[in-house]
Every structure is written in C-alpha cells, then in structure tokens.
Amino acid sequence: MTKRSDSPKMNSTWVDEDTANYLRLRVKTFYNADYFERVVLPLLNIPQHGQVLDVGCGYGGLSTILAELRPDLQITGLDIEAAALESAANGARQNGLTNLTFEQGDAHRLKYEDCRFAAVLCQTVLTHVQDAGSVVREMARVLKSNGVFMAAEYTSIGPVSTYNSVEDEKRDDAWYEKIFRLSRLLIKGKRALGRGDDRLGVRVPLLAAAAGLDVFDVRLNDRVLHVIPPYVHPKQADYLELLRAYYAPDPDCKGLTQNIELMRAAGGTEEDAEWFYNSGDTAAVRQAITDGNLTEISAYMLYLTFAREPDQDIR
Ligand SMILES: C[S@@+](CC[C@H](N)C(=O)[O-])C[C@H]1O[C@@H](n2cnc3c(N)ncnc32)[C@H](O)[C@@H]1O
C-alpha cells in the first residue's frame, strides 16, 4: 500500500475526519479477537483494580479492548489532541464502559507523579513523536515497581507485506527499486521534520532497556488481513471496509501534499512525491472491490515489546 503515508502532516492531521475514520477502522484489524485475551493479557498480568495509562490513546482503540476484557481496571487514555479524546470518550459512553477516562497531555512530559501506574501502554504512537526515547523514559518513570510496559509499534516495510491481485502482476524490479528508494526518502523526511520515525518499532526493546526497564518478551501481533472472493467469511468484512477507506478518492490530494513536504525535507523532488503518490493503481483496485474480485493479503506488523519496571530493591 503506497497511496497514503501513515505519518502526520502536522498534529491537526489526526483530527481530519478521513484520517480519523481510517484509523478507527485500522485499529480494529490489528489483532484476532482471541489474541489479546490469550496472549497479551497473560503477559501483562495486571493486578486486580490496577491503574493503567494508554499513552497517545487517540480514538481509544487499545483502551477499549482492555476496558472490555478487564472491567476491574481503571484506565486513563492520554492524548495531545482534544478532538480525539472527545471522540474516544463518546465511544466509551456508547459502549457502556465506565472504567475509562480520557485526559489531554504531552507524552514527552507526562503530568503524573512517579510510580503511579500498574501498567503503561502505547500503540502506534512512538513512531509519531519527536523523541521516542524521552517518551519511553517518561512511561518508565510513571510505572510502579514491577509495573508492566507494553508498546505495539510498527516498522515500515512497505509493499513487501502486501499481495494485491490487481497491482502485483504489473510491478517489475524497477518499480520495487524505486518504491523502496522513495519510501526511504519519506521516512527520512519525517525524521528530518521531527515528526517521528516509521522504522522505530523494531528498536523499541532497546529504548525500553535504555530506560532501565527489564524487557521480558517481544512478540508480533497475529492478524493476517485477507479478502478472497467471494468474501463470505465475517473476518473479511472489516478488512474490506478498511480497503474501501484506503482506496477512496482523495479529491483534495491531502496525501500528495503531505508526501511533497516529506520528500522535500529529505532532498527528494516534487516529481518523486507524485510518482510515489500515483504508484498504486487505485482506480482499478476500487473497481475490483466494486466488482467483488479483488484478492488482497496483507500484514500490518506491530512489534509488541513487553517490559517490567524492576523492583526498586534489586535495581
Ligand atoms: C496513530 S495514532 C494511534 C492512536 C491509538 N494509540 C490507537 O492505537 O488507536 C497516534 C496518536 O498519538 C497522538 N500523539 C502524537 N504525539 C503525541 C504526544 N506528543 N503526546 C500525546 N499524544 C500524541 C496523536 O494525537 C494520535 O492520536
């Protein structure tokens, strides 16, 4: 998938309606329904009635999964964007979740006292902040002794993680060489503008260790997204909805404007940005979705880093 970059043009990008809708749909496709219950919750092992902080909670995707599975926990979602928090709070109300509260704040300077939370989590946030190391240190600071840290963050690997029946056959070696070169420029541009690092996921265990945490496991999320005609299986429905949003027409060319800015910041050209933006055959893919004959299989891999705040006595 190459049409849109995942990176924010500026903070207000997160409250743009299309982006908000796309993020809400995408969060629903990170995990299979049983993965959190069977794998993540036992690893977190949060004590009964523990206080949990979800840093960069956005529209409340991660907080909501946890709040539904563990109604005993007191979960605080923190985000820099007031509009996202309002939407998250509305969602919680609609779902009847009373163990969730949302607060505004900057992850680089958490407004909580030391050693407050039994668990501190984040999901697709460290790739978007200016200084991921300082955010991880802040997350460690507000963790109790033996408290648990989890970060679910991606490392961008671009089109190698996707098979698309309309586009794959048209792509030759030259296309792949160009897409990798330009993807790299976009990542460099995002870093140069202080908007985060799309290759950060794989380095989060190192940041956690550097913050004094004891990294006890690193996993991947488990969902392989797939739509295979005739789309009769219920699991394919949410991916199809996500694809419709992803391949929707972009009349204002918001994605292109963003790509031009990032590309220029990394020394690339406007032509590079345009080529990248037009590198997917979006009209043909849209038609295949409408005709019901698109096959797409894709992994949006998140590295899940699990770490613990060491017991103060043995530190
Ligand atoms: C890709 S979204 C992820 C949202 C949510 N964690 C999820 O998985 O659905 C990234 C979020 O990080 C938030 N964010 C970015 N920089 C931040 C900062 N410095 N402090 C707090 N939140 C921040 C954005 O406002 C946005 O809601």
Residue 177's pLDDT is 95
Q: Is the beta carbon of 44 within 6 A of some atom in ligand 1?
A: no
Q: Is the beta carbon of 260 within 6 A of some atom in ligand 1?
A: no
Q: Is the beta carbon of 81 within 6 A of some atom in ligand 1?
A: yes
CATH 4.10.910.10 fits 31-156+198-223+300-315, yes or no: no
Q: Is the beta carbon of 150 within 6 A of some atom in ligand 1?
A: no
Q: Is the beta carbon of 154 within 6 A of some atom in ligand 1?
A: no
Q: Is the beta carbon of 129 within 6 A of some atom in ligand 1?
A: yes
What are phi and psi for residue 257, nearest 5 degrees?
-55, -45
Average pLDDT over residues 138-158: 95
pLDDT tops 80 at residue 137 = yes
Are 98 and 66 spatial neighbours (Cβ–Cβ below 8 Å)? Answer: no
Q: Could you give the CA distance from residue 262 to residue 224 in angstroms, rounded to a whole number?
A: 29
pTM: 0.93
Q: Is the beta carbon of 195 within 6 A of some atom in ligand 1?
A: no
Ligand 1 center from residue 110 Cα (angstroms): 14
Q: Which atom of ligand 1 is nearest to the CA of 107?
A: 20
Ligand 1 center from residue 158 Cα (angstroms): 21
15 against 188, higher pLDDT: 188
Q: Which atom of ligand 1 is nearest to the CA of 59?
A: 9
Residue 159's pLDDT is 81
Q: Could you give the CA distance from residue 276 to residue 270 in angstroms, rounded to a whole number?
A: 10
Residue whose structure tokens are 């407004």 = 111
Q: Could you give the CA distance from residue 71 to residue 74 in angstroms, rounded to a whole number?
A: 8
Q: Is the beta carbon of 91 within 6 A of some atom in ligand 1?
A: no
The pLDDT tens digits of the residues spanning 265-304 come to 999 999 999 999 999 999 999 999 999 999 999 999 999 9
Q: How many residues does the chain have?
A: 315
Q: Which atom of ligand 1 is nearest to the CA of 26?
A: 9
Ligand 1 center from residue 251 Cα (angstroms): 26
Residue whose CA is closest, atom 13 of ligand 1? 56
Average pLDDT over residues 141-161: 94
pLDDT tops 70 at residue 6 = no
The domain limits of the chain are 31-156+198-223+300-315, 159-194+224-299
Residue 7's pLDDT is 40
Are 200 and 273 spatial neighbours (Cβ–Cβ below 8 Å)? Answer: no
Residue 243: its H or E element: helix 235-246
The pLDDT tens digits of the residues spanning 96-113 come to 999 999 999 999 999 999
Which one of 19, 125, 131, 135 would you pick to mutate in the ligand 1 pocket, going by the greatest count of ligand atoms within 8 A of its CB? Answer: 125
Which one of 80, 108, 109, 304 would you pick to mutate in the ligand 1 pocket, going by the greatest count of ligand atoms within 8 A of its CB? Answer: 80
Structure confidence at residue 235 as a pLDDT band (50, 70, 90): confident
